[in-house]
């Protein structure tokens, strides 16, 4: 048992090092510089700024200014001048994860300072829709695997501790039965409820409420999907055989309907290990059951880690492909048909993925 976990930890540490620190920032926000931004300034009105990937900024409305834009640390700044006039200033906004923000508009000539808000708007009708859809699909997959990994790593640690406690107890060789499952095997009712509640909270926050259009459409199409994660905190079912298989397949189907095949599979692995799959251990001795469950959990971690590393790489390429599209739209250029980032993302998603869900 100890040697197995040591090997698992070494593999996970090596794999985690491949992910790179830049992905921690990317996974929390999808804001990038290139695009069309609309600002509203108190007492002045609104205007639209078109910004290219290299920061060239052009205003439509108000003074039709031109300037240089930067985006760093979640702060968007545009330093502007009005050609032919002695007038200049800057905007600066703190952005949230939906690419909206508030800040100040400062005229450096008059010294006037006003409150202002900004939001990045979509490109024109039909422009960059497929790049946006692909970006969000890969992002959804990466978010699902990352959230699942976080939960399973914590669950694995708790299983290891439960194994040691059970090994030293008088119940190590007792059989797992219906009463054991109802009492919270393998870690006790309180701990099991903690993990299921945390899984419900994490999946709801990171996947259901994160603004993914495909998820929103799935929930509108089938409102019953809203209650899927509620079942994590309901009493465990002690069914087995055909009835258990049908229950498991039902929740697997719901996950895929809401999140798609790849993201749904990552979520289902957590649901199965933490709840719906536990009835499969009935009849085993307690210590042996925990050992097998711990091994299955760590096997799933290793499998998900490999997928997550690939998904983060494809997410980066999807973001680059989307930004190239935004940039070309801003410069009024035709689409780039030789975009290698887009080609790589399309190869990853495969021919069966629908561009616009």
Per-residue model confidence as pLDDT tens digits over 151-188 = 999 999 999 999 999 999 999 999 999 888 888 899 98
Average pLDDT over residues 199-226: 83
Regarding the domain with residue range 35-121, which homologous superfamily does it belong to in the CATH classification?
Answer: Quinohemoprotein amine dehydrogenase alpha subunit, domain 2 (2.40.128.120)
Least confident piece of the model among 29-38, 123-132, 329-338:
123-132
**Per residue in 276-302, pLDDT tens?**
778 888 899 999 999 999 999 999 999
Provide the pLDDT for residue 307. 95
Q: Can you give the pTM of this predicted structure?
A: 0.69
Does the pLDDT of residue 75 top 50, yes or no?
yes
Residue ranges of domains in the chain: 2-28+129-311, 35-121
Q: 């059951």: which residue's tokens? A: 289
> 20 pLDDT exceeds 80?
no
pLDDT at 163: 95
């Amino acid at each position: 048992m100890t040697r197995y976990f040591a090997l698992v930890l070494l593999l996970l540490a090596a794999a985690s090092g491949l992910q790179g620190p830049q992905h921690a920032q990317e996974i929390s926000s999808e804001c990038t510089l290139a695009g069309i931004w609309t600002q509203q300034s108190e007492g002045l009105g609104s205007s639209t700024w078109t910004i290219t990937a290299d920061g060239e900024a052009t205003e439509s409305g108000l003074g039709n200014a031109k300037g240089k834009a930067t985006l760093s640390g979640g702060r968007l700044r545009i330093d502007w001048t009005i050609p032919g006039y002695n007038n200049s200033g800057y905007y600066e906004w703190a952005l949230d994860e939906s690419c909206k923000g508030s800040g100040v508009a400062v005229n450096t000539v008059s010294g006037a300072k006003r409150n202002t808000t900004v939001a990045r708007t979509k490109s024109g009708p039909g422009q960059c829709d497929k790049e946006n859809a692909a970006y969000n699909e890969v992002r959804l997959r990466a978010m699902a695997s990352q959230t699942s990994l976080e939960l399973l790593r914590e669950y694995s640690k708790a299983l290891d501790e439960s194994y040691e406690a059970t090994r030293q107890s008088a119940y190590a060789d007792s059989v797992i039965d219906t009463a054991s499952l109802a009492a919270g095997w393998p870690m006790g009712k309180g701990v099991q409820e903690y993990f299921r509640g945390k899984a419900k909270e994490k999946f709801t926050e990171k996947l259901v409420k994160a603004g993914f259009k495909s998820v929103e459409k799935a929930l509108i199409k089938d409102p019953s999907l809203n209650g899927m994660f509620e079942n994590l905190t309901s009493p465990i079912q002690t069914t087995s055989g055909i009835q258990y298989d049908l229950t498991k397949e039902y929740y697997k189907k719901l996950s895929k309907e809401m999140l798609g095949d790849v993201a749904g599979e990552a979520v289902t692995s957590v649901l199965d290990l933490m709840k719906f799959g536990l009835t499969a251990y009935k009849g085993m001795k307690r210590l042996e059951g925990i050992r097998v469950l711990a091994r299955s959990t760590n096997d799933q971690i290793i499998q998900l880690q490999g997928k997550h590393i690939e998904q983060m790489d494809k997410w980066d390429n999807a973001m680059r492909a989307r930004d190239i599209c935004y940039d070309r739209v801003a410069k009024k250029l035709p689409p780039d048909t030789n975009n290698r980032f887009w080609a790589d993302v399309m190869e990853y998603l495969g021919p069966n993925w629908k561009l616009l869900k």
